[in-house]
Amino acid sequence: MSEHQEWALPKSIQIKPKALEFDLQPALDSLVFIHMEAFEDGLTANTLGTQRNGYGVVISAQGTILTIGYLITEASKIWITTNKGVVVPGFTLAYDQATGFGLIQPLGALECSHLEMGSSDTLELPQKAYALGHGGVAHSMETQIIAQQEFVGFWEYLIEDALYTTPAHPRWCGAALVDTLGRLIGIGSLLVQQESKGEVVECNMFVPIDLLKPILNDLINTGQTSAAARPWLGIYTVEAEGQLIISFITPGSPAEKAGIKDGDQVVKVGLDRVFTLSQLWQAIWKLGQAGVKVPLSLARDGELIHITLTSVDRNSLLKKPMMH
């Protein structure tokens, strides 16, 4: 189940171990390869696929693995492979919708080191960093954090102070971003484009580690945080020429049940006019927790229509693994 070894990053961007202020090998050995199989009838099967591969990083002596949540959501099976070739099954411990972090509990001894956490809130940009992947030096690279700012996703997702790095790691999913002292400061989420020095460059977006610290114990102990679940509608929405256009409706979602259609333009949430995705999501979330009614004003075929949806907790619709 391990990752194919025939590919390698260009040597020019691979990490130079002798130039580091930390011992690279234990850090590399904390990275694991994750292969998962999702429930075929799950909510995310059509959008994310039923077989997914990515990375995770061991963050505790007990073997707890931190990764990006979309990699493991609705997993029916998880297999974990270490750099030393140890393969064990895993279990989805938690997936936090607000931050995007996911936790895995290995169901066997990994026999590898774990990575200590640093801080993502004390960075002075631009700053050198290292993106680590499973597979050793050939799959890990030197990079630079060029921005720390809000990230908004079209799938009802928003985080503040996301980390943007370039050059981009080609296999970013669950990769570990570490600082110059070898401490974990972010988890790889996406490949995006970002403006830097007047030009658009390809970047990785990393979810900052300081978002995890206040919720980690709750996620480990209960599988969820103490915060109330955000209202979720099931609309994929994009910004296009100053308009918010719904591009996809999740089957079985509140949006589908309320009759919202692909191509509808979101104009208002309640009385609030919205022009950006950030405004849209925040206007919905400020109405209350999951279950709250969400009034939307939509432009459709030249007419303004008003629809009120009953939101839900997205997590309640996801299929959960069963322990045997």
Tens digit of each residue's pLDDT (9 = 90 or more) over 63-98: 999 999 999 999 999 999 999 999 999 999 999 999
Q: Give me the mean pLDDT over the 255-280 stretch.
A: 97
Structure tokens at 233: 């509608």
Q: What is the mean pLDDT of residues 205-214?
A: 98
**CATH value of 235-317 in 3.40.190.290, 2.40.50.100, 3.50.50.60, 2.30.42.10:** 2.30.42.10
pLDDT for residue 229? 96
Nearest to 316 by CA among 234, 217, 243: 234
- Over range 22-44, report the average pLDDT: 97
Q: Can you name the residues that pair with 37 across neighbouring β-strands?
A: 51, 77
Residue 138 — φ and ψ, nearest 5°? -65, -20
In the prediction, which pLDDT does 3 show?
Answer: 54
Q: In the chain, list all ranges with CATH 2.30.42.10.
A: 235-317
pLDDT for 1: 46
Task: Examine the pLDDT at 2 and tell me if it is beyond 60.
Answer: no
Residue intervals of the chain classified under CATH 2.40.10.10 are 22-114+215-222, 127-211
For the cut 90, the answer to whether the pLDDT of residue 206 exceeds it is yes
Asked if pLDDT for residue 271 goes beyond 70, the answer is yes
Calculate mean pLDDT across residues 36-57: 96
Model confidence, pTM: 0.95
The pairing of beta strand 265-269 with beta strand 243-249:
antiparallel
Is it the case that residue 133 has pLDDT exceeding 80? yes
CA–CA gap between residue 51 and residue 55 (Å, rounded): 14
pLDDT at 104 over 70: yes
Residue 155 — very low, low, confident or very high, per pLDDT cuts 50/70/90? very high
Q: Which CATH architecture has domain 127-211?
A: Beta Barrel (2.40)
Q: What is the mean pLDDT of residues 4-31?
A: 91
> Which position has the token pair 């990515």?
54
The average pLDDT across 206-231 equals 96
pLDDT at 195: 81
Distances in Å between the Cα of 58 and the Cα atoms of 55, 68, 234, 320 are: 10, 13, 32, 22
Average pLDDT of the chain to the nearest whole number: 95
Q: How far apart are the first and last CA of the chain?
A: 22
Q: Please name the fold of domain 22-114+215-222.
A: Thrombin, subunit H (2.40.10)
Number of residues written out for the chain? 324
